[in-house]
Amino acid sequence: MWSRFTATLLLAACATQALAVVEREDIIVLAADGLRYTSYKTLRSDLAERVLYLGPDEAPEDAVFIVPDDYASTPLDDGGTRLHFQSGSFALMNTGVFDAEVERKANGIRVFTSWDGVTRSDGHLGKWNAPDDFSSFSYTWVVPRNIDILAYQANRSGTWEKRENTLNWTGKQVNDIAFTIRYRVNDPDAGAAPAAKPRPTQPAPQQTAPSKPKPQPSYSGNGLETAPSTSFDSKPPQAGGTPSQAKPQQPTTSEQDKPAQPSNVDPKPRSVTLDSVVTLADGRPQVTARGQGVLRRLAGALATDNTRRVVIHGPGFTDSRDTGGSVAQAARVSDFLAAHGVAEERIEIRAGKRADDATGRTIEVTVEPGGLLDAFSEKR
What confidence category does residue 261 fall into, taking pLDDT thresholds of 50, 70 and 90?
very low
What confidence category does residue 49 fall into, taking pLDDT thresholds of 50, 70 and 90?
confident
- Each residue of 143-153: pLDDT tens digit? 988 999 999 99
**216 or 103, greater pLDDT:** 103
What is the distance between the alpha carbons of residues 147 and 29, in angstroms, rounded to a whole number? 12
179, β-bridge pairs: 154
Give Cα 65 distance to the centre of its chain.
16
Q: Is the pLDDT of residue 218 over 60?
A: no
Maximum C-alpha span of the chain? 67
DSSP string, 186-220: --GGGGTGGGGSPPPSSPPP--S--SSPPP--S--
- Each residue of 280-310: pLDDT tens digit? 876 678 899 999 999 999 999 999 999 999 9
Assigned superfamily of 254-375: OmpA-like domain (3.30.1330.60)
Burial (Cβ within 10 Å: 0-12, 13-18, ≥19) of residue 288: middle
Question: What residue ranges do the domains of the chain occupy?
Answer: 11-241, 254-375
DSSP string, 101-151: TEEE-GGGEEEEES--SPPPTTS--SB-EESS-EEEEEEEEE--TTEEEEE
Q: What is the dihedral of CA 326, 331, 337, 338, to 10 degrees?
A: 170
pTM of the model: 0.56
> Which is nearest to 102 in space by CA: 67, 147, 65?
147
- Each residue of 74-92: pLDDT tens digit? 887 767 777 888 887 888 8
What confidence category does residue 135 fall into, taking pLDDT thresholds of 50, 70 and 90?
very high
| Domain 11-241, CATH class in plain words | mainly beta
- Each residue of 239-260: pLDDT tens digit? 333 333 444 444 443 444 444 4
C-beta of residue 148 within 8 angstroms of C-beta of residue 243: yes
pLDDT of residue 345: 85
